[in-house]
Structures are given as structure tokens and as C-alpha cells.
Amino acid sequence: MKNVKSCSWVAENLNKVSVFDAGIVKPGMAGPYKPYAVVRGAGRFDISDALSDPKTQLSNMMCNAKQFQSHMRQLGVNQNDTVVLYDDSGLFSAARGWWMLKSMGFEHVFIMDGGLPEWLLHGFPVQQQHSTPNSMGNFTVIQGAGDWQFVERYEVLRTILDESSLLLDARSPLRFSGCEQEPRTGMRSGHIPNSKNLHYNALLTERGLLRSIGELQAQFRLLGCEGKALQFSCGSGVTACILALAADECGYTKLGVYDGSWNEWGNMQFCNELPIRCESGSNLK
């Protein structure tokens, strides 16, 4: 796989790559984020705070290019480095960090397959705290980074009825159908009209590894993704990036991650602007 490295590969190259823990506190759980172990030498890639937009109350929204560049330099990341991201859940939020870096024009970024659980399963070395850099990096944002883009609600709304586009929702089937309450307060239940459900867990093995290319391709074909521009959504734009990762592995292009995701679309403040669907199939406002 072009975007994924095994734990064995990371262990063998630990002194040649920059490893970061991109874990987050899952919605509905209290923070702060405290991993039970840290891969030896790994720094902290803080999606929910240092690398999020401070001007919005929406969770995990992408920060601007200036803030992103500044923080990556503080993390000691250089333009020619190879960055490996993982999280403490197997694969939950690391793909979000991968997409963030890609959207800022950084090419040499990979996911550690299986994350921290797989690393511990192999008995590879860990430490208790995140490492801090010895010097500033020279990371530089490259604007207009090709296909790696976040999309806003206006773009999603514009393409709802476009048959050449398809939005895939990574939330659980019960949340997608509106039969299960959202973990965040002030949220409507349901999904974006004309979107389809592809729970991110369906793309992972029981051990949290990304499934084979053949298995991933079968999932996308089943949903009629061939020849379409794909957008991805979830609760707050995090697990949507697992779908984007899998789609890129399968060779799909014209990909976009809806940054605000259901955290924005389902918010009661947008009830008169953004339509939803529930299990009944009726449009709701």
C-alpha cells in the first residue's frame, strides 16, 4: 500500500522517520488525551487543539495554513522528512492527520498500520511521554495541493443532486439512519440527503489493520463509486479521512473531505439551511 507502513517497517526505520501520535479523545468521552503508551521517540500531533481552528466551536476543524506551518515547524518537521502517524485505537484519527498534511502539500506522510495496539502486540519499544524536538523545522505549506482538499458545507450542498458526485458517511449505520442519538449535544439525527453509509470499521480488520486493496475496492464498488467524484463525511471530519485513505489506495481521484461533517451539518443552528434525511426517508429541516 502506498500510504500505509507496517509496524515492523516503522520499527526498522525508527531513526530515519519522524513519528507522531495523532490520537484524540473520542466524542462523548472526557479529556484530556492520555495514551497508555507512546511509540519510542514519537511526538504529539494534536488534531483537536494545536492544529484546530481556534475561531470556531466546531470540533477538530482544520486550522489555517499559517497556524499549521508554524506548529509543524515547532514539532521539528522539515520539508524533506518522512512522517509516520499513528493513533492509540488502531486506526481512528491518524488518517485525519495524514489528510491534513496532504492538504498542506506535504507528500512524505504515512499511516502506521494497526497503530499503537499493533505496535504493542509486536513488543516494539515505547515510552511514557511524547518526545519534544531539539530544533525548529523548516516545514513549508504548499498552497493548492492538488486533489487533497477539505470542502465546506456550501460545496456539499451544491453537489447533493449532482449524479457525478457521491458523498460517503463514515458514521455507524444507526447514527446514519437517525435511529441512534448523536454523541454531541445540540445535534439533529439523520444524514445528508443522497449520501451513502460506509462505516469506517468496515474497512478495518478485527485487529484494526486496513483491509486488502481487493476488499476495499469491493466496498466502494458495492456503493456505486466508480467514475464519481467522492466526498467523505463523519461526525467531525476525522473518520471520514479513513474512507479517503482507502479510496486513494484504490486509485480513486477527485476526493474531498467535508471538514465540518455532521458536527456542522447536523447542528441545530443550520436547521433552516441544511436539509437532512432520517430512516423514514422524509426530508427534514
Residue ranges per structural domain of the chain: 4-127, 149-284
pLDDT on residue 30 = 77
Is the pLDDT reported for residue 283 higher than 50? no
State the burial class of residue 283 (Cβ atoms within 10 Å of its Cβ: 0-12, 13-18, 19+).
exposed
pLDDT on residue 143 = 77
**Angle at CA of residue 181, ends 283 and 162, nearest 5°:** 35
Q: pLDDT tens for residues 3-44?
A: 999 999 999 999 999 999 999 998 878 778 999 999 999 999
**151 closest CA partner among 172, 171, 167:** 167
DSSP class of residue 250?
T
pLDDT on residue 145 = 62
pLDDT on residue 175 = 95
Q: What fold, for 149-284?
A: Oxidized Rhodanese; domain 1 (3.40.250)
Is the pLDDT reported for residue 216 higher than 70? yes
Confidence of residue 202 (pLDDT cuts 50, 70, 90): very high
pLDDT on residue 131 = 98
Given the residues 234, 241, 250, 278, select the one marked as catalytic. Answer: 234
pLDDT on residue 270 = 84
Catalytic-residue membership of 7: no
Confidence of residue 146 (pLDDT cuts 50, 70, 90): low
Confidence of residue 172 (pLDDT cuts 50, 70, 90): very high
Contact 271, 125 (CB under 8 A): no
Question: Hey, is 98 helix, strand or coil?
Answer: helix
Region 264-268 average pLDDT: 92
> What would the CATH number be for the domain defined by 4-127?
3.40.250.10
List Cα–Cα distances, 267 to 14, 57, 109, 236, 264, in angstroms. Answer: 42, 11, 33, 11, 5
Is the pLDDT reported for residue 284 higher than 80? no
Q: What is the pTM of this model?
A: 0.95
